[in-house]
Amino acid sequence: MTLRISLIGRGAWGSTLERLWIQRGHSLRSWSRRDGGSPRPLLEACDLVVAAVSMAAVLPVCRELAPHWPEGLPLLSCSKGIDPDGLCTASQLWQRELGDPPLAVLSGPNLADELSRGLPAASVIASGSAALAGRLQEELRTPNLRLYTNTDPIGTEAAGALKNVIALAAGISDGLGLGANARASLLCRGLAEIGVVLEAMGGQSATLYGLAGLGDLLATATSSLSRNQRFGTLLAEGLSEAEALARIGATVEGPRTARATLTLAEGLGLRLPICDQVVRLLDRRIDAPGAVRALMERDPRPEHNHGL
């Protein structure tokens, strides 16, 4: 079936999805902040809205579109992050503003550059409606993007957001030249931190080990194509947050997500050692070697300990 898709957000990921779905035969209209004007006309005569804006842009776009949203129009959210004010995911922001639209989430190990070059990848469509997830799985899959489904949108989003923080930390480790043992240890303990937050937000533990959790973490934390990983290496070189962002020259979700996650964790009484050291480094309260020492010198504890 050919869909009329309205795409909001034409960054690296949005542009990649646009090309993939046009090649699949779907009809695409898109809007970006660079275009100016309003995305409201995209709500007319379409079968699906895909939101691929940065996390910072989600709430303004929600509020712009909410009064005009056609009843029953499905939304596929592709934004990754935690809102620092609402301390919630992108789909939760959409639901707060739109009510209860048919809603799904797309997430997974999706480095846009690789997909744009035709390399294979897999992702997950998560929705409380198994019927919606299944329909989108069939309609949006492409020859080089295999889609799976699950019924845990919040866990899928939480994992997709927090892996950016751990990828940033992995970049710091790589930038300091700490080796493969340190990176592996960091990713393992980082996955545990993601799991603690995921479950606290109401996600399902199985999601942690799927494409949106472990899969996305491995891709984002180990590839130089990852903005968050590259950002971490720049921090390790001694650059400030502003200097590193300027060097990257594009949106990096990790810093914003780290601060929002730490605020969320404090309110829930959770301890997130890696996230805490990332925020301390971003705020220039510690340097990169000092953050590593702080993690290594923590009191001994059992491996399987939700207190981390």
Q: Could you list the mean pLDDT of each consecutive 10-residue stretch along the chain, which spans 308 residues?
A: 94 95 96 93 96 96 95 96 95 93 96 93 97 97 97 97 96 95 95 96 95 96 94 96 96 95 95 96 95 86 69
Contact between 251 and 228 under an 8 Å Cβ cutoff? The reply is no
Let me know if 300 is exposed, middle or buried by CB neighbors in 10 A (0-12, 13-18, 19+).
Answer: exposed
**Is residue 44 one of the residues assigned to a domain?**
yes
Q: What is the pLDDT of residue 299?
A: 77
Q: What is the pLDDT of residue 73?
A: 97
**Is residue 306 one of the residues assigned to a domain?**
no
Report the CATH number at residue 249. Answer: 1.10.1040.10
> Same domain, yes or no, for 175 and 241?
yes
Domain with 199 in it = 154-296
**Is residue 133 one of the residues assigned to a domain?**
yes
Q: What is the pLDDT of residue 59?
A: 96
Q: Rounded to whole angstroms, how far apart are CA atoms 86 and 84? A: 6
Q: Is 80 a catalytic residue?
A: no
Q: What is the pLDDT of residue 302?
A: 80
> pTM of the entire structure?
0.93
Q: What is the pLDDT of residue 305?
A: 63
> Same domain, yes or no, for 140 and 12?
yes
Q: What is the pLDDT of residue 304?
A: 75
Q: Which of 80, 163, 256, 259 is catalytic?
A: 163
Contact between 58 and 93 under an 8 Å Cβ cutoff? The reply is yes
